[in-house]
Amino acid sequence: MKIECIKTHHLRCHLEQPFGFSQWAYNQRNVLVIEVITDQGISGWGECYGPADVIQAAVEKFYAPRILSMNALSTDAIWHHMWRSSLDFARSGIMMSAMSGIDMALWDLKGKALNLSVSDLMGGKQREQVPCYATGMYFRDAPEEILLPELVAEAKGYAEEGYQAMKIKVGKNPDFDEKLIIAMREALPNTLLAADSNHAYDLSEATRIAKVLDENNYIWFEEPLSPEHPELFRQLQDKCTVAIATGECEQTRFGFKKLLDAGGVQLLQADLAYCGGPSEALKIRTLASAQGINMIPHVWGTQLNLAAATHFLATAYHEPGRAEPKELMLEYDRTENPLRDNLYKTIVSVNNGQASVPTGAGLGVEIDLDQLKEFDICATESK
pLDDT of 325 reads 85
- Mind listing the pLDDT tens digit for each residue in 252-304? 999 999 999 999 999 999 999 999 999 999 999 999 999 999 999 999 999 99
| Stated pTM of the model | 0.97
For residue 113, name the pLDDT band (cuts at 50, 70, 90): very high
The answer to whether 229 and 250 are in contact (CB under 8 A) is: no
Residues constituting the chain: 383
- Residue 246, C-beta contacts closer than 8 angstroms, at least 6 positions apart: 222, 223, 224, 225, 227, 233, 259, 265, 267, 268, 269
- Mind listing the pLDDT tens digit for each residue in 314-364? 999 999 999 998 899 999 999 999 999 999 999 999 999 999 999 999 999
Work out the average pLDDT over 47-73. 98
Cα–Cα distance for residue pair 78/194, rounded to 1 Å: 37
Longest dimension (CA), the chain: 60
pLDDT of 239 reads 96
Task: Tell me, yes or no, if 80 is annotated catalytic.
Answer: no
* Dihedral Cα 75, 81, 85, 88, nearest 10 deg: 90
The answer to whether 297 and 282 are in contact (CB under 8 A) is: no
Query: Quick count: other Cβ atoms within 10 Å of Cβ 97?
Result: 28
Domains defined for the chain, CATH in brackets:
3-115+367-382 (3.30.390.10), 120-366 (3.20.20.120)
pLDDT of 72 reads 98
pLDDT of 240 reads 97
* β-bridge partners, 167: 135, 194
* Dihedral Cα 153, 158, 161, 163, nearest 10 deg: -140
Q: Give the chain's mean pLDDT.
A: 97
pLDDT of 286 reads 98
pLDDT of 332 reads 98
Burial of 141 (0-12, 13-18, 19+ CB in 10 A): exposed
Identify residue 334 by its one-letter amino acid code.
R
Work out the average pLDDT over 79-88. 97
Task: Tell me the backbone φ, ψ of residue 340, rounded to 5 degrees.
Answer: -95, -40
Work out the average pLDDT over 225-251. 97
Cα–Cα distance for residue pair 148/135, rounded to 1 Å: 16
- Residue 10, C-beta contacts closer than 8 angstroms, at least 6 positions apart: 30, 31, 32, 52, 53, 56, 376, 377, 378, 379
Catalytic residue among 9, 10, 199, 298: 298
Identify residue 273 by its one-letter amino acid code.
A
Rounded to the nearest 10 degrees, the angle between the axes of helix 94-114 and helix 75-86 is 170
Cα–Cα distance for residue pair 187/200, rounded to 1 Å: 25
